[in-house]
Amino acid sequence: MGNSIIAACKNGDSSFEDLDSYFPVRPECRADVPNTRFRPRAGRTLSERRWKAAFSQEGYLDIAGVLRRIQRGGIHPSIKGAVWEFLLGCFDPNSTFEERNELKQQRREQYAAWKSECQKLVPVIGSGKFTTNAIVTDDGQPIELANTTSNGQDTNNGMPVDNGVYEKKVVQWKLNLSQIGLDVVRTDRSLVFYENQTNQAKLWDVLAVYAWIDKDIGYVQGMTDICSPIIILLENEADAFWCFERAMRRLRENFKSSANSIGVQSQLRALAQIVKIVDPKLHRHLEELDGGEYLFALRMLMVLFRRELSFVDALYLWEVMWAMEYNPNLYSLYDKTLEQLPDKLNDTQLKQYGKFERRIVRTGATKQHDALAVFLVASVLETKKKQLMKEAKGLDDVVQILSEITGNLDAKKALNEALKVHKKYMSKASFYVPCSLLFPTPSQHTHPKG
């Protein structure tokens, strides 16, 4: 966790003060950022004291108790980073302190090795600086005088392959670096944290290394919105990388595009199916406006409502959503150590699932089911139904009406409405055909081991 956050949380449970002390906004930007609704609440929000008490002497985590508290009131800013590592499947709650420390060290060494590979190709990586300039041409030839954001240091050591013809994947990675830099400059620029170029460079480094190891997708715009909060919450760069890598396992398919389709299309199709079942009249109206593909919801699904909420409220939404979707087998799925699950789960085992995932398990649906985020968008459409039906005469009107939720969306209320929409959908659907994957199995695509 960042030093500024650590300094702000010395009072533990009594530290339910202004959230500006954790995520300060630049004075000149305050008028332009949405108001924050979330406030840590004693007795409801997972506090530092409660978090520490949830571990046994050996380090085993009472994940059921932690999930209950998060679903009631989110996570106190002082411990968000540490808790997110469990919610996203970085660690197994049934592991000890010693086992997790050993795993963390292994991951840090692996990240350092990957980063070293990147530095050999682009020396500015890891220097505390970053570039917004192209360093190679489209055919892989070095661009001379490419410089960093602060000086004229050469960012490309010009390592040709096969007499100057660059290997395609390496070229694409190098081409991505300038776009990452441009997006880093634009991301969360209202926060004081990113006034520091070293912090911006940390975000750039993590995304550069991720793009290097995930060569199928590389980097896609929107990833900075997912990675930025993690960089702020976790002080160690390698730990932040692995937390982001786990987050991307949930969202990776959203960023996977081809010449004929966009990655988030499966979730958009799922959204259309959900609205068609729970509210046929609204769905028909959207179809008549040529909105049947629901492309107006693309941004909300791609970056999980980051643009519609304040920074703090977006973090609250994510962590409650992840807690609701939590599956205790998540770490084992990612680590490829999952054994056969029992046919039936007892009440104690079910309590280790988030309330949304528990409902899925109880109904006997497959693991391949629609993410809570899809039902969250459906709930937003439901709350705007009257206005959409009355005022929307075209797609531009739909976009305009939905844009009104920016700064006005109550994350807690929206999540509760999403659960209601899901319940209604499950009761109305004569059969349940999944259109998107909440927890892709490791065999579906290649991920780094760790």
Confidence class of residue 339 from pLDDT cuts 50, 70 and 90? low
User: In 3D, which of 88, 373, 127 has the Cα closest to residue 234?
Assistant: 88
Mean per-residue pLDDT of the chain: 85
Residue whose pair of structure tokens reads 């959207």 in the numeric block: 286
For 29, the token pair is 């930007």
DSSP reduced 3-state for 412: helix
Rounded CA-CA distance 81/51 in Å is 12
Question: What percent of the chain clears pLDDT 70, i.e. is strictly above it?
Answer: 83
Report the alpha-carbon distance of residue 410 to residue 317 in Å, rounded: 9
* pLDDT score at 276: 95
Per-residue pLDDT for 124 more than 60? yes
- The two tokens of residue 41 are 């609440």
149, 197 Cβ separation under 8 angstroms: yes
Q: pLDDT at position 159, please?
A: 44
Cα 345 → chain centroid: 29
Of 448, 250, 193, 431, the residue nearest 336 (C-alpha):
448
Dump pLDDT digits (tens) for 78-118: 999 999 999 999 999 999 999 999 999 999 999 999 999 99
What CA–CA distance (Å, rounded) separates 259 from 406? Answer: 31
Residue 123 has pLDDT above 90, yes or no: yes
Which has the minimum average pLDDT: 192-201, 313-322, 387-396, 437-446?
A: 437-446
Indicate the length of the chain as a whole number: 450
1/357 Cα distance (integer angstroms): 28
Q: What is the mean pLDDT of residues 180-199?
A: 96
Residue 174 pLDDT > 60: yes
Contacts of 74 (CB under 8 A, 6+ apart): 38, 40, 45, 46, 316, 319, 320
**pLDDT over threshold 90, residue 214:** yes
pTM: 0.87
In terms of pLDDT, which residue wins out, 421 or 330? Answer: 421
Tokens of 284: 């028909």
pLDDT at 169: 86
pLDDT band at residue 163 under the 50/70/90 scheme: very low
380/254: higher pLDDT = 380
Burial (CB count <10 Å: 0-12, 13-18, 19+), residue 185:
middle
Taking 70 as the threshold, does the pLDDT of residue 17 lie above it? Answer: no
Rounded distance, CA 21 to CA 9, Å?
9
User: Residue 230: is its pLDDT beyond 80?
Assistant: yes
Range of weakest confidence among 154-158, 191-195, 370-374: 154-158
* N- to C-terminal Cα separation, the chain: 21
Q: Are 204 and 148 spatial neighbours (Cβ–Cβ below 8 Å)?
A: no
pLDDT of amino acid 142: 87
Q: How far apart are CA 129 and CA 149, in angstroms?
A: 7
pLDDT, residue 14, reads 40
DSSP 8-state class, residue 430? S
DSSP state of 340: P
